[in-house]
Amino acid sequence: MTLATADADGRLSARIVLLKAVDDRGFVFFTNYASAKAGQLAAHPRAALCFLWKALRDVVQVRIEGVVEKAGAEESDAYFASRPRASQIGAWASLQSQTLPERSMLDTRVAEMERRFAGAEVPRPVDWGGYRLVPDMIELWFGQRARLHDRERYESVGGQWTKRLLYP
């Protein structure tokens, strides 16, 4: 999904992340807590998500907006433990969003982490974990003929959801 965040000055940034879980509380993704997006979320804890399914029902778009909070340590531990070992090592090796002076330095860090955790389980780095976007707006967009698309917008105020249609 596309994840859009903003810093304290309103400067916007968008990137793709994996939607790992959806539950009654919201939409969960995992990342580096020292990354650029994490800095933006600390400064401005709202975000927008966008999905596109081109092959579904003449195109479906889903837009979601809401407040972002860190997922619990247990939830992050559980997902980290389920990841392939190479991805766990990669999470330790990557200083996500920081300047990498040359590619070989990443390979060196991977080798270092492989040595450090040789023969042992790889623990979750403290700087790696989940975020949950708690939605207050969800819009379902269904492509229709002649650009007369259907837009269903669901909005929550104080936990009370309402639905309205929007002009396309």
Ligand X SMILES: Cc1cc2nc3c(=O)[nH]c(=O)nc-3n(C[C@H](O)[C@H](O)[C@H](O)COP(=O)(O)O)c2cc1C
DSSP string, 29-90: EEEETTSHHHHHHHHS-EEEEEEEETTSTT-EEEEEEEEEEEPPHHHHHHHHHHS-HHHHHH
Residue 98 lies near ligand X (rule: CB under 6 A): no
Measured from the CB atom, is 13 or 108 closer to ligand X? 13
Tokens 């029902």, residue located:
57
- How many residues in the shown chain lie near ligand X by CB under 6 A? 14
Q: Any bridge partners for residue 153, and if so which?
A: 139, 164
Q: Which stretch binds ligand X (CB under 6 A): 31-39, 115-123, 134-142, 152-160?
A: 31-39
Residue 124 lies near ligand X (rule: CB under 6 A): no
Q: Which stretch binds ligand X (CB under 6 A): 35-43, 59-67, 74-82, 134-142?
A: 35-43
Q: Any bridge partners for residue 31, and if so which?
A: 129
Check if the beta carbon of residue 51 is closer than 8 Å to that of residue 142: no
Residue 70 lies near ligand X (rule: CB under 6 A): no
Q: Pick from 28, 31, 66, 113: which binds ligand X (CB under 6 A)? A: 31
Whole-angstrom Cα distance, residue 152 to residue 61? 11
User: In sequence order, what are the residues at sequence separation of 6 or more whose Cβ sits closer than 8 angstroms to the Cβ of residue 66?
Assistant: 26, 46, 47, 133, 134, 135, 136, 137
Catalytic residue among 103, 115, 145, 147: 147
Check if the beta carbon of residue 25 is closer than 8 Å to that of residue 134: yes
Check if the beta carbon of residue 37 is closer than 8 Å to that of residue 13: yes
Nearest approach, Cβ of residue 97 and ligand X (Å): 4
Catalytic residue status for 147: yes
Q: Which stretch binds ligand X (CB under 6 A): 30-38, 85-93, 99-107, 131-139?
A: 30-38
Nearest approach, Cβ of residue 37 and ligand X (Å): 3
Measured from the CB atom, is 69 or 155 closer to ligand X? 69
Q: Which residues does the annotation mark as catalytic?
A: 147
Binding stretches for ligand X (CB under 6 A): 13, 15-18, 29-32, 35-37, 96-97
